[in-house]
Amino acid sequence: MGRPRRGSPLACASVDCTSVSAATDIPSQNEAPKPERRPRVFSGSQPSGTLHLGNYLGAIRNYVAMQATHDCIYCVVDLHAITVRQQRAELRRNTIDVANAYLACGVDPERSIVFVQSHVPAHAELMWILNTITYMGELRRMTQFKDKTAGAEGESISVGLFDYPVLMAADILLYRADAVPVGEDQKQHVELTRDVAERFNNAFGKAFVVPEPIIRTEGARVMSLDDPAKKMSKSAGSENSYIALMDPPDVIRRKIRRAVTDSGSEVRVGPDKPALTNLLDIYSALADEPVDEIVRRYEGKGYAGLKADLGEVVASALAPIQARIRELEADKSYTLGVLKTGAERAEAIAARTLAKVRERVGLVPRP
């Protein structure tokens, strides 16, 4: 197989990155101009099941768009995935699947670093150091931890699940990332990362960049198709609640046709129409068309027409990604090569940060 084609298969609306600005020092007359460093992005997704439309719209699509303006590092966070028990063979397959999805959606390994978290041990080492300055109270307040452990006895909740946000902070801080594109559900974790970075810098001397979460308005929170009060998630009970990146067109059409709707028959958004709001948001994000215009087109028509058209919009948006994933699956060595180079490049950056952190803390350098 040849190299997969570059670039995004879809029109990606621009990402609002106004909170992040490149370093633009003006050199004095005698000074040679410094090569401009583009702001850096870090983000990651877990290989803990099938990637779905929420991952694509909330995160991966932004990974692709941000390559135009940032130096990007994208990670498959397998150490996060094992905070919930995984089947060995499935975890291996899912790890490669997430890497393939990044590449198929348009992450370009010549411009961006793509790697697997466990291939760079510095993540776990920095996590340990950050553990020593993170408070139990902060971790207990994390909504995702509370959701994942709701109803469970404290005795049987793993330390890894509790500590998960500190590993995420280590991921981001190791690469001195300026910006972290994520869906709305990860915002609290990025805020914790900022607090921990500032605490370290104040206590030990500056080692970290304090990162900004980048959350785009459309697609930031794609909801479940069978319960619009819950976010679309791979761990949700029913297969009908999410659209997997690899769902065939007829499955996509069926899932959207069966999606729950609100009472009444009017196509519009609003707090009393959570299901319709979700469907219209998905439509708008994928067709790159404002919600108002879509609503105007369906005025006076019922839900069925909207659902049928949305099925086509989703199926045709995912078709080129699916075709590229199949190409990548046919040539396993290509993705492994990308991950090998990615780990080497990531490790070199991580080692520099970790050396500085060790020095700041007072650990004796290895003779």
Shortest spacing between CB 189 and ligand TYM, in angstroms: 6
- Pick between residue 45 and residue 67 the one whose CB is nearest to ligand TYM: 45
Give 331's strand partners: none
- The three-state DSSP-derived secondary structure of the chain is CCCCCCCCCCCCCCCCCCCCCCCCCCCCCCCCCCCCCCCEEEEEECCCCCCEHHHHHHHHHHHHHHCCCCEEEEEECHHHHCCCCCCHHHHHHHHHHHHHHHHHHCCCCCCCEEEEHHHCCHHHHHHHHHHCCCCHHHHHCCHHHHHHHCCCCHHHCCHHHHHHHHHHHHHHHHCCCCEEECCHHHHHHHHHHHHHHHHHHHHHCCCCCCCEEECCCCCCCCECCCCCCCECCCCCCCHHHCCECCCCHHHHHHHHHHCCCCCCCCCCCCCCCHHHHHHHHHHHHHHCCCHHHHHHHCCCCCHHHHHHHHHHHHHHHHHHHHHHHHHHHHCHHHHHHHHHHHHHHHHHHHHHHHHHHHHHHCCCCCC
Shortest spacing between CB 270 and ligand TYM, in angstroms: 20
Q: Which member of 231, 255, 273, 307 is catalytic?
A: 231
- Name the closest residue to ligand TYM (Cβ): 58
Q: Which member of 230, 234, 255, 340 is catalytic?
A: 234
Shortest spacing between CB 116 and ligand TYM, in angstroms: 12
**230 tagged catalytic:** no
- Pick between residue 176 and residue 327 the one whose CB is nearest to ligand TYM: 176
Shortest spacing between CB 97 and ligand TYM, in angstroms: 12
**234 tagged catalytic:** yes
- Pick between residue 232 and residue 328 the one whose CB is nearest to ligand TYM: 232
- Pick between residue 9 and residue 211 the one whose CB is nearest to ligand TYM: 211
Question: What residues have CB less than 8 Å from 94, skipping those under 6 apart?
Answer: 47, 48, 49, 81, 86
Shortest spacing between CB 44 and ligand TYM, in angstroms: 4
Q: Which member of 34, 148, 206, 255 is catalytic?
A: 148
Shortest spacing between CB 315 and ligand TYM, in angstroms: 19
- Pick between residue 10 and residue 77 the one whose CB is nearest to ligand TYM: 77
Which parts of this chain interact with ligand TYM (CB under 6 A)?
A: 42-46, 54-55, 57-59, 77, 80, 168, 171-172, 180, 182-183, 185-186, 189, 220-222, 231-233
**231 tagged catalytic:** yes
Answer whether 89's CB lies under 8 Å from 46's CB.
no
- Pick between residue 163 and residue 327 the one whose CB is nearest to ligand TYM: 163
- Pick between residue 232 and residue 338 the one whose CB is nearest to ligand TYM: 232
Shortest spacing between CB 342 and ligand TYM, in angstroms: 15
Q: Calculate the CA 34 to chain-centre distance.
A: 32
Active-site positions read: 148, 231, 234
